[in-house]
């Protein structure tokens, strides 16, 4: 009954033509662009990598071979774990957590300043300053970071000029450029959810806490952050998921000894010509990130509806 009443109100508010169009567009987006690709990916991950002539034959059956390969490696290596792929997998998740924490520490003050301090033209200038750099293509921004952090880049040149260092620091090999590039790539996805949440907070609550003698850190810890928790969770979720699934930045900014899990997936699809194993690795990454996010939501007592709202 509630669903019927909702659709009746929806069509009354939008009209029959626009209502049908909106529902069709949403259904197409959910089914064709989200659900079906994931279903095909799961199906691919559970089948043998067979030549085209054998597809659909008696050998084309479901198997867990590709998931076992990620755990144990080849048949000859069974009995020991696939330490290479597993170490890259866990290192990628850990790095994504680090990028998320760094982005939150960087973006929370900016979001609060935009929401509660900046006014008028100053606020519009700050928003424009945040948006304009992202008009540049992601690949160009990644290459720009590689130039800036290079041995002859701006950062090393300034440090040498200031007498802080004698020899250039290899920021690429140390993965500093990679973490900086990933953190910068997703700052808007952290800033604006927090900004939207903090902006709706009644400033009188902040003033009341200040009048009662609370220091600034306690005001944020006990008043602002609990209120903005849905926005914080939304921003952290998007940054974590996109950092763990990034490919362009690790390819361009990663050092010679660094490897992102998405690069292994890419290699199975392109170099290894094994779409089934690549699909299995991709499903593992997707499932792991979703489970991790759900666990964090449980720990911090945030509901999915609060994030979506």
Query: Tell me, what's the pLDDT at 304?
Result: 74
The pair phi, psi for residue 270, each rounded to 5°, is -95, -60
Can you give the pTM of this predicted structure?
Answer: 0.88
| Residue 280: how many other CB atoms lie within 10 Å | 27
The pair phi, psi for residue 144, each rounded to 5°, is -65, -40
DSSP annotation of 77 reads G
Query: Tell me, what's the pLDDT at 51?
Result: 85
Would you call 303 helix, strand, or coil by DSSP?
coil
Query: Tell me, what's the pLDDT at 192?
Result: 93
**Minimum mean pLDDT among 49-58, 159-168, 233-242: which range?**
49-58
Torsion of CA 81, 83, 86, 87, to 10 degrees: 150
CB 232 within 8 A of CB 302: no
Would you call 172 helix, strand, or coil by DSSP?
coil
| Residue 205: how many other CB atoms lie within 10 Å | 13
Interhelix angle 120-131/187-199, rounded to 10 degrees, is 150
Domains of the chain: 82-308 (1.10.3720.10)
The pair phi, psi for residue 75, each rounded to 5°, is -60, -35
The model's pLDDT over 67-97, given as tens digits with 9 standing for 90+, comes to 999 988 875 555 678 888 999 999 999 999 9
Query: Tell me, what's the pLDDT at 238?
Result: 92
Q: Tell me the two tokens of residue 66.
A: 């590709």
Q: Tell me the two tokens of residue 181.
A: 């590039």
DSSP annotation of 47 reads B
Distance between CA atoms of residues 225 and 217, nearest Å? 10
The model's pLDDT over 9-51, given as tens digits with 9 standing for 90+, comes to 877 888 888 888 988 999 999 999 889 999 999 999 999 888 8
Average pLDDT over residues 158-171: 89
Distance between CA atoms of residues 34 and 37, nearest Å? 6
The model's pLDDT over 276-305, given as tens digits with 9 standing for 90+, comes to 999 999 999 999 999 998 888 888 888 777
């Amino acid at each position: 009954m509630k669903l019927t009443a909702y659709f009746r109100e929806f069509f009354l508010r939008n009209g029959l033509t626009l209502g049908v169009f909106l529902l069709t567009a949403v259904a197409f987006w959910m089914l064709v662009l989200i659900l079906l690709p994931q279903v095909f990916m799961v199906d691919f991950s559970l089948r043998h990598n067979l030549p085209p002539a054998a597809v659909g034959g008696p050998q084309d059956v479901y198997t867990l071979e590709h998931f076992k390969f990620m755990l144990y490696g080849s048949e000859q290596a069974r009995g020991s774990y696939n330490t290479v792929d597993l170490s890259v997998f866990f290192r990628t998740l850990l790095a994504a957590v680090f990028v998320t924490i760094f982005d939150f520490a960087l973006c929370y003050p900016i979001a609060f300043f935009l929401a509660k301090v900046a006014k008028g033209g100053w606020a519009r200038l700050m928003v424009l300053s945040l948006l304009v750099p992202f008009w540049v293509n992601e690949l160009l921004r990644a290459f720009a970071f590689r130039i800036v952090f290079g041995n002859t880049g701006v950062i090393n040149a300034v440090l040498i000029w200031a007498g802080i260092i004698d020899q250039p620091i290899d920021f690429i090999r140390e993965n500093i450029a990679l973490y900086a590039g990933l953190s910068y790539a997703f700052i808007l996805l952290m800033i604006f959810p927090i900004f939207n949440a903090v902006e709706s907070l009644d400033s009188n609550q902040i003033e009341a806490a200040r009048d009662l003698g609370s220091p600034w850190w306690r005001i944020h810890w006990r008043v602002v952050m609990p209120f903005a928790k849905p926005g914080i969770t939304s921003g952290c979720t998007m940054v974590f998921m996109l950092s763990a699934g990034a490919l362009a930045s690790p390819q361009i900014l990663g050092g010679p000894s660094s490897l992102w899990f998405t690069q292994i997936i890419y290699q199975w699809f392109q170099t290894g010509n094994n779409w089934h194993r690549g699909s299995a690795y991709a499903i593992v990454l997707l499932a792991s990130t979703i489970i991790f996010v759900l666990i964090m939501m449980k720990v911090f007592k945030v509901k999915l509806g609060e994030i979506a709202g």
